[in-house]
């Protein structure tokens, strides 16, 4: 059997990490089983669905590299198909027109509440075969009256629902539009979904969906309802906790693989391994191993993982992401060697690509502005005298490499009897404009001879000896 999974977001809110984790589990399981992963946009709720939310889903999935083998399908483009299935069910007697008016339903409900019964539709119209003039009917599914439905959930185990608890669901409104739970059923059936992986807020929909699938002669898929992600305070993750659009993680400078690595570990583990490449995730992930405890979102750990991924990834793989962040700062560099060099020099000192880009501006601009505070501290007359010595020592170098630069600065330090730090700091301020940078030899090597010497000269020129 080929495994077919799907990610079926409703574009009623912006895709955030909770949805991304569901997408990831579905994608990983399909990849692991060499199956198929489908993207389906559940946009039947036209009032609440927005183009912006659809855009975030498509862009977000693209940025994350969770490529779908099929889709995106849109439910709003499948209305003819839903109508066809409803007509078939009416003909087969597995669904019926319900002519109950709102007043009648309200009265029924009030009576049930007064008798302390659970409010439910009692199937009055199952036997009403004549249309009632002036009432546009809804269509209801004829749910089995007896027995139970067992959801053999991969995460929660067997969960049993009594059919007496499930009333006859409306599958088409009086204007003919199909309802959400019904569209899911038709889609899962038509798309040959074998494994439904979704948030456990949908577990209660599952018995009805299974009953409808069976009524349609389809075999229900395997279900895995994954636990919610909680905020650090234990409440359901919400905007308050920064449950923002997935694209904001891109803006903040996270690598997609780091975010996915972070999310895969919420509810799933593989020994005590914390850092996974995408390939390692695909090789190790199994939806059967996801546990049902909800997990809390931990921004600190996400930052840590991001740095781990920046450090471990091939610099060339990080280049496009750093470039994107530099562009936001108005820097457009295609100097591959410089970009890779900057990544290697900076990746231990930044937790995000945004931070890396901000700290690395000086590598890409023509001239730097000197931070007055750094100048006051590190460009004192005494320091400038040392800087002059450094300038002379560096200018004579045959080779401009980290090794030769290191040796030259070391020699100078011995010769003038000043610590390496004392010598490096004025150079650093001169070439970077600030008192913080990667090791000075690496910094100078990346900047190159011309730019380094020109910046030192500029500082020496503004304060004549």
Nearer to ligand GLU, 197 or 356 (CB): 197
Q: Is 184 in the site for ligand GLU (CB under 6 A)?
A: yes
Nearest to 348 by CA among 311, 303, 299, 301: 311
Q: Is 8 in the site for ligand GLU (CB under 6 A)?
A: yes
Helix (H), strand (E) at residue 296: strand 295-296
**CB of residue 46 to ligand GLU, shortest distance in Å:** 14
Report the C-alpha gap between 310 and 257 in whole angstroms: 10
Nearer to ligand GLU, 15 or 456 (CB): 15
Report the C-alpha gap between 144 and 215 in whole angstroms: 9
Q: Is 177 helix (H, G, I), strand (E, B) or coil?
A: coil
Q: At what angle do helices 440-447 and 336-346 cross, to 10 degrees?
A: 170
Q: Enter the tokens of residue 449.
A: 């001879």
Q: Is 406 in the site for ligand GLU (CB under 6 A)?
A: no
Block residue for tokens 């404009």: 433
Choose the binding region for ligand GLU from 5-13, 298-306, 402-410, 420-428 (rule: CB under 6 A). Answer: 5-13
Is residue 259 within 8 Å of 303, Cβ to Cβ? Answer: no
Q: Is 202 in the site for ligand GLU (CB under 6 A)?
A: yes
Nearer to ligand GLU, 7 or 362 (CB): 7
Q: Is 198 in the site for ligand GLU (CB under 6 A)?
A: yes
Q: Is 194 in the site for ligand GLU (CB under 6 A)?
A: no
How many residues sit close enough to ligand GLU to count as binding (CB under 6 A)?
A: 7
Helix (H), strand (E) at residue 372: helix 372-378
Burial category of 203 from C-beta neighbours within 10 Å (exposed 0-12, middle 13-18, buried 19 and up): middle
**CB of residue 181 to ligand GLU, shortest distance in Å:** 9
Q: Is 227 in the site for ligand GLU (CB under 6 A)?
A: no
Report the C-alpha gap between 380 and 354 in whole angstroms: 32
Residues 18-57 binding ligand GLU (CB under 6 A) are 42
Q: Is 78 in the site for ligand GLU (CB under 6 A)?
A: no
**CB of residue 10 to ligand GLU, shortest distance in Å:** 4
The question of whether 239 is a catalytic residue gets the answer yes
Choose the binding region for ligand GLU from 7-15, 225-233, 273-281, 334-342 (rule: CB under 6 A). Answer: 7-15
Report the C-alpha gap between 142 and 247 in whole angstroms: 43
Q: Is 10 in the site for ligand GLU (CB under 6 A)?
A: yes
Cα pseudo-dihedral 100, 101, 107, 112, rounded to 10: 40
Nearer to ligand GLU, 7 or 254 (CB): 7
Nearer to ligand GLU, 37 or 276 (CB): 37
**CB of residue 270 to ligand GLU, shortest distance in Å:** 25
Q: Is 200 in the site for ligand GLU (CB under 6 A)?
A: no
Name the H helices within 115-234: 180-190, 206-215
Handedness of CA 248, 200, 236, 269 (dihedral sign): negative
Q: Enter the tokens of residue 102.
A: 């709102």
Of 219, 239, 327, 373, which one is the catalytic site residue? 239
Positions touching ligand GLU (CB under 6 A) are 8-10, 42, 184, 198, 202
Catalytic residues, by residue number, are 239
């Amino acid at each position: 059997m080929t495994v077919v999974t799907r990610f079926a977001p409703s574009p009623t809110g912006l895709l955030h990490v909770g949805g991304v984790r569901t997408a990831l589990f579905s994608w990983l399981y399909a990849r692991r089983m060499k199956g198929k992963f489908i993207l389906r946009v559940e946009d039947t709720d036209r009032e609440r669905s927005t183009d912006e939310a659809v855009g975030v889903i498509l862009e977000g999935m693209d940025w994350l590299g969770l490529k779908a083998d099929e889709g995106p399908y849109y439910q709003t483009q499948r209305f003819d198909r839903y109508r066809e299935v409803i007509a078939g069910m009416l003909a087969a007697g597995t669904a019926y027109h319900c002519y109950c008016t709102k007043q009648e339903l309200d009265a029924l409900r009030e009576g049930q509440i007064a008798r302390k019964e659970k409010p439910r539709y009692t199937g009055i119209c199952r036997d009403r075969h004549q249309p009632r003039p002036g009432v546009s009917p809804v269509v209801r599914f004829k749910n089995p009256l007896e027995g139970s439905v067992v959801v053999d959930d991969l995460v929660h185990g067997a969960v049993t629902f009594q059919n007496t608890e499930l009333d006859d669901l409306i599958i088409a409104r009086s204007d003919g539009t199909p309802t959400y739970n019904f569209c899911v059923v038709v889609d899962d059936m038509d798309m040959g979904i074998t494994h439904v992986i979704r948030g456990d807020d949908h577990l209660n929909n599952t018995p009805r969906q299974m009953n409808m699938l069976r009524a349609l002669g389809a075999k229900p898929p395997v279900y895995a309802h994954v636990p919610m992600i909680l905020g650090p305070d234990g409440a359901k993750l919400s905007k308050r906790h920064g449950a923002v659009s997935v694209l904001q993680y891109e803006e903040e400078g996270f690598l997609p693989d780091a975010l996915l690595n972070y999310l895969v570990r919420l509810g799933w583990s593989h020994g005590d391994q914390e850092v996974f490449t995408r390939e390692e995730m695909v090789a190790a992930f199994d939806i059967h191993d996801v546990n049902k405890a909800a997990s809390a979102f931990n921004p600190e750990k996400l930052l840590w993982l991001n740095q781990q991924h920046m450090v471990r990834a091939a610099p060339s793989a990080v280049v496009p992401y750093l470039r994107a962040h530099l562009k936001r700062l108005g820097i457009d560099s295609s100097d591959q060697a410089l970009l890779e060099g900057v990544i290697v020099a900076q990746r231990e000192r930044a937790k995000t690509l945004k931070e890396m880009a901000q700290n690395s501006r000086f590598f890409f601009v023509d001239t730097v502005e000197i931070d007055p505070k750094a100048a006051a501290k590190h460009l004192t007359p005494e320091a400038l005298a040392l800087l002059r010595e450094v300038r002379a020592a560096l200018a004579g170098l045959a080779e401009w490499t980290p090794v030769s630069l290191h040796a030259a600065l070391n020699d100078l330090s011995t010769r003038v009897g000043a610590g390496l730090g004392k010598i490096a700091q004025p150079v650093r301020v001169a070439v970077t404009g600030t008192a913080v940078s990667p090791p000075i030899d690496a910094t100078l090597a990346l900047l190159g001879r011309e730019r380094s010497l020109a910046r030192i000269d500029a500082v020496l020129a503004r304060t004549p000896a």
